[in-house]
Amino acid sequence: MRLPGHRGGVPIAVATTVRRAALGGVIGPVAFVASWSMLGLVKARYSALHDPISDLAGENASTRLAMTAGFVVFAVGMCFFAGAMHSVLRGPAWIAAATTGCAALGVAAFPLHRSSTVDAMHGGFASIGYVALAATALLCAAPLSRRGLHAWARTATAAGVVSAGALALTIVGSLHGLFQRIGLTAGDVWVVASAVAIRRGSWTRLRPCR
C-alpha cells in the first residue's frame, strides 16, 4: 500500500501517548483563537483592529476571566504539543513550542493595566511568546526537508515568515490588533496542522511498502 505524499513507504504507527499529547496542539490554539474572537465581539468599546488581545484579559476587563482561561488552555496545550513534537521530529522546534506555552502562562499571570512593572513583565512574556511561536514553524522546516517532506517544509517556512512579519508590524502604526491577530493565527494554524500530522503519523519515519 502506498499513501499519497509518501514515496516507497508507509508511516510507522505513532505511540498512543504521543498522539494524545499532539491533541494539545489542536485544543490549545483553537480555544485561544475562539476566546479572543468571541470576546472581542462582546467587550464594549473594544476594537480588534487597534486593541491588543491582552486587553481582553486586562486587570479590570469584563472579559478577564474568560480570556485568561483561553491563555491558560493555550499554554497547557502547547506544552503537551511540544512533547509530541519532541518524539517525532529532530531539532529544537519542540523547545520553541514549549517556550510559547510557558510565555503564554506568563502573559496570563501578569495582566495589563495593573502597574507599570506588571505591564513590563507582561510585555516581556508576550514578546518571547511572539518570537517562539514564529520559531516553532521556522525550526520545523529543515528537519522536515531532510526527511523528504518538502511540501511540509515549505509550508512551515511560509507560516513562520508570515507570523514573524505580522507580529513585527504590531509595533508600527495603529493597526496593532490586526497584525497581532494575523501573526498569531498564522502560527496557530501551523501548530494545528502539525498536531494533526503527528497524530496521523505523517511525520514519522517511513518503512518500506510490501
Span 184-203, mean pLDDT? 96
Give per-residue pLDDT as tens, 122-138: 999 999 999 999 999 99
The torsion angles phi and psi of 113, rounded to 5 degrees, stand at 70, 20
Whose CA is closest to 37, among 188, 152, 154, 150? 188
Whose CA is closest to 35, among 88, 108, 85, 125? 108
> Kind of pairing, strands 9-11 and 206-208?
antiparallel
> Residue 3 pLDDT more than 70?
no
Span 12-31, mean pLDDT? 91
User: Confidence band (pLDDT; 50, 70, 90) for 172?
Assistant: confident
- How many CB atoms are closer than 10 A to CB 126? 22
Give the pLDDT of residue 204: 78
Whole-number Å distance between alpha carbons of 50 and 92: 34
Indicate the DSSP class of residue 81: H
Residue type, position 126, single letter = A
> Residue 59 pLDDT more than 50?
yes
Give per-residue pLDDT as tens, 63-98: 999 999 999 999 999 999 999 999 999 999 999 999
Give the pLDDT of residue 205: 56
User: Confidence band (pLDDT; 50, 70, 90) for 173?
Assistant: confident
98's CB contacts (< 8 A; 6+ apart) are 78, 79, 82, 83
Give the pLDDT of residue 131: 97
